[in-house]
Each structure stands twice: as C-alpha cells, then as structure tokens.
Amino acid sequence: MIPQLPLALRWPRRQRFEHFYAGANAVTLAAVERLTREPAASWLYLSGPTGSGKSHLLMAACQAANEAGRTVQYLPLASLRDKAVAIRGVAGSELLALDDLGAIAGDREAEHALFDVYNQSKAEGATLLFAADVLPVSLGLGLPDLRSRLGACQQVLLKPLDDTERRTVLRNQAAVRGIELDETVLDWLFARYARDLGALLDLLDRLDQASLAAQRRITVPFLRNLLRETGEPGA
C-alpha cells in the first residue's frame, strides 16, 4: 500500500493548474483540466522530455479532482521500490495518475499489475492519467496487451518551454514572492545553471529564504555564493 500523506505534502502548493505556464501546451492543459471535471472524459497519456511539466499536470489534476470530491492517487513509479504492490494498492481510486511509466518497463509483475488496474478501472468507470518520457510503443514494455491498452488512450505531447518562457515564469514567480530578478541575474543563471524549470523554481525558493535571512537583495555575487556554499554546479 502507498502511505497516506497529508494533502499539503501530497499536492505541493506550486503544482496547481493556475501555476502551470502553458505556452504551446494550452490544448493539453485544457484536456487535463477536463479530465478532472468529467469522469467520462478520455483517458490521457502525456509524453514529453524531463522538465516539460508532466508531473506538475498530474499532481494538479489530483488536487483539482480531490477538491471536486473524487478519490485520487498520484503514483510516482520511478521512486517506488515494489512497483507491483504499489500499483495494486491504489486500485479503486476514482482518479489515478501514474507518473514515470518507463520505470516499470521489463518488470513483469508491475506490468501485469498495471494491466489489471487498467481493466478494473475501465470496468468501474474510474479515470486514469498516465505520463512518460516517450510514447507507449517506445516504452519497452514486455506485455503486448498493456502496450495496446496504453496506446488506446488519447496521446498528447508536452513541449518544453523555451528560455524566454522559462525566464517569464521565473520572473513572475519571483514577483509573487516580492523578489525582483533583474536581467543580469537571469542572464547569469541561464548561462550557468540547469535550465529544467523545476530545478530553477526550487532554486528560487532557496534564494527567497536565503535573501530574507541575510536581508539582502538577489545579485549575481549573492547567487554565486549560495551555489558555492551548497557545492552545486554553476558557482
């Protein structure tokens, strides 16, 4: 069974629909939002590279469906040890979001568990939402029937934000925190730090705390010192 966590931990505050910068993914965002409101909506299979927002949308869907009174579960398969037990343990949820599907490829028990949960959910009128880096045909699944079932879902491709869009998101999120990020800081950050949006937003949270503790505005030297103190690349 999956341990039950408080909602505040299960659905991070930042992982909501209103905090998802759609960019070229507006149609995909609308489809996921519809899935949380309409139990009869088509099941979705999201694919896209790391940093494209797959996990964000899955957790946002769970949060929205939970607020609508539906029972939900989010399953981050890549971080689970016994994937087959975990998958079987969440059967019966009205909305089940399964992240990192590639993590079960070649795991016979986990693949069969997902196949069974898929069929059970279909019979019970539940909703499934999947996410992986690649399409079902490229997952490397050993169970052909599971590959076929996943291929029958509505498949949507998430496109990662470009640098201009990432800068806009960072600037907006900083403004929400009362932080001003000038162009010099952003230029330095994008030239030397990971461009994955999740990593950038995590860094922004740490910058917010550090600047408040030091009572200093965020400058390039301040940012460089923070990264140096934590031993991170870019310092």
Q: What is the DSSP string of 162-177?
A: -HHHHHHHHHHHHHHT
Claim to verify: residue 181 and residue 220 sit in the same structural domain: yes
Question: pLDDT tens for residues 29-76?
Answer: 999 999 998 888 999 999 999 888 899 999 999 999 999 999 999 999
The pLDDT confidence band at residue 177, using thresholds 50, 70 and 90, is confident
In this predicted structure, what is the pLDDT of residue 12?
61
Question: pLDDT tens for residues 107-147?
Answer: 999 999 999 999 999 999 999 999 999 999 999 999 999 99
- Out of 136, 157, 178, a domain closes at 157
Identify the CA nearest to 206 among candidates 230, 189, 184: 230
Is residue 5 over pLDDT 50? Answer: no
In this predicted structure, what is the pLDDT of residue 2?
44
Position with higher pLDDT, 222 vs 234: 222
Domain count along the chain: 2
In this predicted structure, what is the pLDDT of residue 6?
35
pTM across the whole model: 0.81
Position with higher pLDDT, 188 vs 235: 188
Cα 64 to Cα 67: distance, rounded to the nearest angstrom: 5
Position with higher pLDDT, 62 vs 201: 62
- Out of 140, 157, 174, a domain closes at 157
Claim to verify: residue 27 and residue 139 sit in the same structural domain: yes
- What CATH number does residue 144 fall under? 3.40.50.300
- Out of 157, 192, 210, a domain closes at 157
The verdict on residue 210 lying in a domain is yes
Is residue 16 over pLDDT 70? Answer: yes
Q: Give Cα 234 to chain centroid, integer Å.
A: 25
Claim to verify: residue 15 and residue 131 sit in the same structural domain: yes
The verdict on residue 234 lying in a domain is no
Cα 190 to Cα 167: distance, rounded to the nearest angstrom: 9
Alpha helices in the chain (DSSP H): 7-10, 26-37, 54-67, 83-89, 108-124, 144-151, 163-176, 183-192, 197-214, 220-229
Claim to verify: residue 153 and residue 127 sit in the same structural domain: yes
Claim to verify: residue 84 and residue 167 sit in the same structural domain: no
Claim to verify: residue 69 and residue 145 sit in the same structural domain: yes
Claim to verify: residue 20 and residue 131 sit in the same structural domain: yes
Domain that holds residue 103: 7-157
The verdict on residue 235 lying in a domain is no
The verdict on residue 186 lying in a domain is yes
The H or E element spanning position 155 is strand 154-157
Structure tokens of 186?
């952003």
Question: pLDDT tens for residues 67-118?
Answer: 999 999 999 999 999 999 999 998 888 999 999 999 999 999 999 999 999 9
Residue 96 dihedral angles phi and psi, to the nearest 5°: -120, 120
Claim to verify: residue 106 and residue 173 sit in the same structural domain: no
